Amino acid sequence: MSERNGVKTPTPFLSRQNVLSLYLPAVILSLGTGIALPALPIYARSFDVSLGVASFALVTYGLGGLVAGIPTGYLLDRFGRRNIILAGPLVTALSSFLVVIAQSFPELLIYRFIGGIASQMWMLGRLAIVADTGADSQRGRQITGMHAMDSAGRIAGPLIGGLLASGWDVTLPFVVHGLLCLVAVVPSFRLIQETSPNALRRTGGDRQSEEAHPPLRTWLLTFPILMFLIAQLLGSVCRGALNNGTLHFYAVYAYDVSAVTIGFLGTAASALSVPIIVAAGAVMDRFGRKATIVPGFTLLGLALGFMALTAYEGWSFELYVVAFLVVVATNNFTTGSMQTLSSDIAPRHARGSFFGLSQTVVQVGHVLSPAGYAWLAENVNATAGFVFLGAASFAVVLIAVTVIREPVRDRRAKEREESEVTGVVEASPR
C-alpha cells in the first residue's frame, strides 16, 4: 500500500516498488532456475536410475513445498512478509550448492526437498504482499505479471544451462543457479517493505487489524471454500507435472535428447509463455477469473490428449515438439488464475495462514502429479500418465462451471445495482 494524505491506497501494478522489489528479483531467480532446468534430468540419469525413479527428483521438490506451506503461512501472519521473502532465495542458493556435492541419488533428493521448502517461502511471501497492496481490478495482472517475469527469466536460462552442462560439467548450472539467487536477494533487503496487517498493527500502523474477526477454521468449513480447495488440488494435479520438468524427463527417456535440446525446448516454452501469461492477467481483470479458468483448463485437457497420442502412436520427435508447444501455450493461459481467485477470497486478517493452507493443497497436487505420472509411466506407459493429467484438467472445468463463484465480480455487480438504485432515487420527483 502507498499512503497519500494519511489514506492508504493500493499500489499500482507497474509501480516502482513492485518493479524493483518483486518483478526484478523474479526475473533473476527464474533465470537461475532456467539454467538448472536442462541439467536436472541428465544429472538424475547419471545415478543409473529409471525414468520413474528419476522423476522423484521432481516429487521431492514438491514435497518440500508441501511441508513448508502451513508453517510458512503462519510465520507470514506472525512475523511479517519481509523476513520470509528474504529467506527464500538464500535457502534456495544453499540447496543448489548442495546438489553439486551430492554423492548418491537419495542425497540429491534431500537437497531437492530443501529447495522445495525455499521455493514455497518465496511464492507465499510475494503472493501475500500482492494481496496486501494490490487493488481488485489489478490483482490478476500483478500475479500473472510475476509469473510472466518468471517465464521471461527462463527464456535464456535453459539454453545457457544446456550449453554449460554439455560443454563443461552437468553440475555447473546448479552453481550458477545458487549464485544468481544470492544476487537476486541483495536489492530486496533495501526495497521490500513490511505489509502484514498484524505486523503493522503491532507498530501502530494499521488499526483495522484490531477489529474482531471470526476464527479462520469457521470460515474455511463452508461448501464454496471447500470446493475451491478441491479445484485447486485438481488444477495442481494437472499442471504440477508440466511445470516442474516432467515433459523434459519424458523427452530425455523417450527420444534420448541432449541437455542442449532440452535447453532449446525450455527457451522456446518460456518465450511463448510471456505474452500468453500477460494476456491472461488482463482477461481476468476485465472479464473475471473464470474467463481464463474454464477455457484454459478445457484446452489444456485437449492438449494433453494430443500429447497422449504422440506417446501411444510413437510419433516422431518433431510431432512431440508440436504437442509440447501446444501444452505449454494452453497451460500458461491458466497460470495465476487459481492464485488470483485465492487472493480474492482470502480474509484480510489471516491471508498468510489461508495462503499457507491453499498452497499446501496446491503442493499436494504438485506431489501427486509427477508421482502419479511416474507410477503410470513405470507400471503402464507414458500414455496413461498423460491421460491422468488431462482427466484432472477436465475435472477443474466441471467444478468451476457448477460451483465456483467470484467474489470480486459479485462485489462489482452489487455495487452496480446499488449505484442504479441510488440513481433512481435521486432522479425520482419529490
pLDDT digits (tens, 9 = 90+) for 260-287: 888 788 878 878 888 898 888 888 888 8
Range 166-181 average pLDDT: 86
Instruction: Give CA–CA dist 116/369, Å, rounded.
Output: 15
Range 82-104 average pLDDT: 88
Residue that wins the pLDDT comparison between 86 and 302: 302
Amino acid at 99: V
Residue environment code for 175-199, b if the CB has 16+ CB neighbours within 10 A, otherwise e = bbbbebbbebbeebeebbeebbbbb
Percent of the chain residues past pLDDT 70, beyond the cut = 81
Residue that wins the pLDDT comparison between 80 and 176: 176
Residue 365 pLDDT: 87
Q: Would the pLDDT of 418 be above 60?
A: no
CB hemisphere CA count around 270 (13 angstroms):
26
Range 376-404 average pLDDT: 92
* Helix, strand, coil shares, percent, the chain, to 5: 80, 0, 15
Chain segment 193-229, per-residue pLDDT in tens = 766 666 556 555 544 444 445 566 666 777 888 888 9
> What is the widest separation between alpha-carbon atoms in the chain?
87
Residue that wins the pLDDT comparison between 343 and 302: 302
Return the CATH architecture of domain 10-202+215-413.
Answer: Up-down Bundle (1.20)
Residue environment code for 268-283, b if the CB has 16+ CB neighbours within 10 A, otherwise e = bbbebbbebbbebbeb
DSSP per-residue codes, 131-192? HHH--GGGHHHHHHHHHHHHHHHHHHHHHHHHHHHHHT-TTHHHHHHHHHHHHHHTTHHHH-
Q: Would the pLDDT of 134 be above 50?
A: yes
pTM of the predicted protein model: 0.71
Q: Would the pLDDT of 5 be above 50?
A: no
Q: Would the pLDDT of 135 be above 70?
A: no
Chain segment 307-332, per-residue pLDDT in tens = 999 999 888 899 999 999 999 999 99
Highest mean pLDDT among 34-48, 209-223, 387-401: 387-401
Highest mean pLDDT among 215-224, 300-309, 356-365: 300-309
Residue 31 pLDDT: 80
Residue 7 pLDDT: 38
Range 96-100 average pLDDT: 90
Contact 185, 90 (CB under 8 A): yes
Per-domain residue ranges of the chain: 10-202+215-413
Residue 384 pLDDT: 93
Residue 397 pLDDT: 94
Q: For the chain, give the mean pLDDT.
A: 80
Residue 11 pLDDT: 57
What is the end-to-end Cα distance of the chain in Å, rounded?
Answer: 43
Residue that wins the pLDDT comparison between 147 and 15: 147
